[in-house]
Amino acid sequence: MGMLEKKTVRIECRSDRWRFVCPRGHRSWEPTNHHFWCASCARTDGVDGSFNELRDRKTGELHERERVRLVTPTGPYDRDLDGGTER
C-alpha cells in the first residue's frame, strides 16, 4: 500500500467496527468533520472524547482522520474531503 493511499473504513460495517477502534480500544466512535469522537471516552473523567487517529486492531497501525476514507452504505462520508465536489 502506498503512503498516500487512504485507508477505507466502512463505518456501518460490523467487521470494520470491530477492527477499527478509538485509541483506548472502544468501538463507540463516530466521525466528525475533522476528527473522530468516542462516546465511551467522553464519559470517562479527564478524557476528551475527540481524537484524530483510528487504531487498526489487526495491524496495530494508527490512521489519521485525513488518511482515512470513510464509506457509508450510501457512498463516501467525506464528499467534500474526497474530492469530486462540484463548485
Q: Can residue 35 be called a binding residue for Zn ion (CB under 5 A)?
A: no
Hey, what's the cell of 8? 477505507
Cβ proximity to Zn ion, 17 vs 76, nearer residue? 17
Q: Can residue 54 be called a binding residue for Zn ion (CB under 5 A)?
A: no
Cβ proximity to Zn ion, 26 vs 67, nearer residue? 26
**Considering only residues 11, 13, 40, 56, which one is a binding residue for Zn ion as defined by CB under 5 A?**
40
Between the alpha carbon of residue 13 and those of residues 47, 48, 73, 87, the distances in Å are 27, 25, 9, 31
CB of 33 within 8 A of CB of 18? no
Distance in angstroms (rounded) separating the CA atoms of residues 57 and 46: 24
Binding segment toward Zn ion, per CB under 5 A, in 4-12, 16-24, 65-73, 76-84: 16-24
Phi, psi torsion values for 64, nearest 5 degrees: -65, 155
Binding segment toward Zn ion, per CB under 5 A, in 7-15, 22-30, 55-63, 64-72: 22-30
The residue type at 15: S
Positions in the binding site for Zn ion (CB under 5 A): 22, 24, 26, 38, 40-41
